[in-house]
Structure 1
Amino acid sequence: MMTMSFTRREPPAWLLAFWKEIDDKTFGAGFDCLAQDATCNLGVADWKGRETIRENLRAFIDTGFTALHDVTEYWDAGSLKVFRGTVTMTPHDQTQPAVKPVMTHFFYMDEREPTKVGRWYGSVGPVAF
């Protein structure tokens, strides 16, 4: 059994920079918050490595919509960061409505590089019923 204490804080700059890279479709330095060998389980995704995560997110975002992430709650327990928020997904096809699903993410910091994310578990949605 393990016990952790969480402190509610303002979202850190590294987290906001990460989402901004996705929102702006630049996919640059904001991804440096991930360890080189980070893993990501986002919904059904099972991606291994920072560059694989970056490229798969780029491919997903390039499917015809623009995202805007809003972190509404951030909790810090040192080696584990938890946050929730919403992501507004606006289709490029203006006949389709924008959706705003809830997102919840767990970032486990890397044991070798504690300032980097080693494991990312996240869920977004549903985007429709």
Structure 2
Amino acid sequence: MTASITGHGGAPAWINDFLHEIDTLEFATAFATHLDQDTEMTFGTARVHGVEAIKDFFVKIDAPLVTTHEVIESWTVGDVLILRGEATVAKKTEPDTVVRAPFTHIFHLDRSDEAAPRIRSLHITAGPSTPTPCSEHPVGRRPAPARGPPGHRCRRTRPPATRAPPRRPGPVARGTRAGATPLHTARPRSLHPLGCRMRAPTVRR
């Protein structure tokens, strides 16, 4: 079996429509045409069955986000379609913080209707994500000491690190040489006349 590579950005037109509906969460023609209640999707470790459950899954994970999927390469091997691409993702609450995540989609298709192939199963892997640098802090350069212009929200800009003050040594008793154990923590000396640590003999009366 020989793989047919469609080239850079050469995915079928219906794939672009399918990804666009995922980005906008407006499921219309592509989902209705190419998915049905028998379609199975595996997204990472999650498994979803049926077109309506797949729609709910994408709404759950993508509703707080702004996403854009771009296909880089695609391969067709028999009834299997493989996509490699990159997704641009940002939270709606932090639109200036953008990450780019690679993804791979593997479609198992039913090509009984070449004009509108049905997706029998779909396997998706995504990530890890990479922060997209802003114009103020390009990749490979240390961030400038300044915080950036007013309103600039870059994750690479952080306040300068502060060091804890050095610890001061505890009080040393008078007459004790430097570095010796302070008097209040020193062990008591033996009271034996010879200065050893043996107990003095007990005198019986």
TM over 0.5: yes
User: Which one scores higher on RCO, CA 8 angstroms, separation ≥ 6?
Assistant: 1
Name the % identity: 26
**C-alpha separation in 2, matches of 1:112 and 1:43:** 28
Q: TM-score, normalised by structure 2?
A: 0.56
Q: Structure 1 residues 113 and 49 mapped into 2: Cα distance closer, same or farther (>3 Å)?
A: farther
- Which residue of structure 2 lines up, in the alignment, with residue 12 of structure 1? 12
- Once the two structures are superposed, residues 19-70 of structure 1 have per-residue CA deviations (whole angstroms, 9 ceiling, x without a partner) of 01011221222212224310000112100011111111112111x1111000
**Structure holding more strand per residue:** 1
- Which residue of structure 2 lines up, in the alignment, with residue 120 of structure 1? 122
Q: CA deviation at 1:6?
A: 1.3
**C-alpha separation in 1, matches of 2:88 and 2:41:** 21
- Which residue of structure 2 lines up, in the alignment, with residue 56 of structure 1? 57
**C-alpha separation in 2, matches of 1:96 and 1:36:** 38
Once superposed, what is the RMSD of the aligned Cα atoms?
Answer: 2.1
Is the Cα–Cα contact under 8 Å of residues 73 and 83 in structure 2 kept in the other structure? yes
**C-alpha separation in 2, matches of 1:5 and 1:106:** 17
Is the Cα–Cα contact under 8 Å of residues 20 and 30 in structure 1 kept in the other structure? no
Is the Cα–Cα contact under 8 Å of residues 86 and 103 in structure 1 kept in the other structure? yes
**C-alpha separation in 2, matches of 1:95 and 1:75:** 33
How many residues get paired? 125
Runs of 5+ in structure 2 lacking a partner?
132-205
Runs of 5+ in structure 1 lacking a partner?
none
Q: TM-score, normalised by structure 1?
A: 0.86
**C-alpha separation in 1, matches of 2:70 and 2:126:** 12
Name the SS for the 1:99 alignment partner.
strand
Large movers: runs of 4+ above 3 Å: 110-114
- Letter of the 1:6 counterpart: A
Q: Structure 1 residues 111 and 74 mapped into 2: Cα distance closer, same or farther (>3 Å)?
A: closer
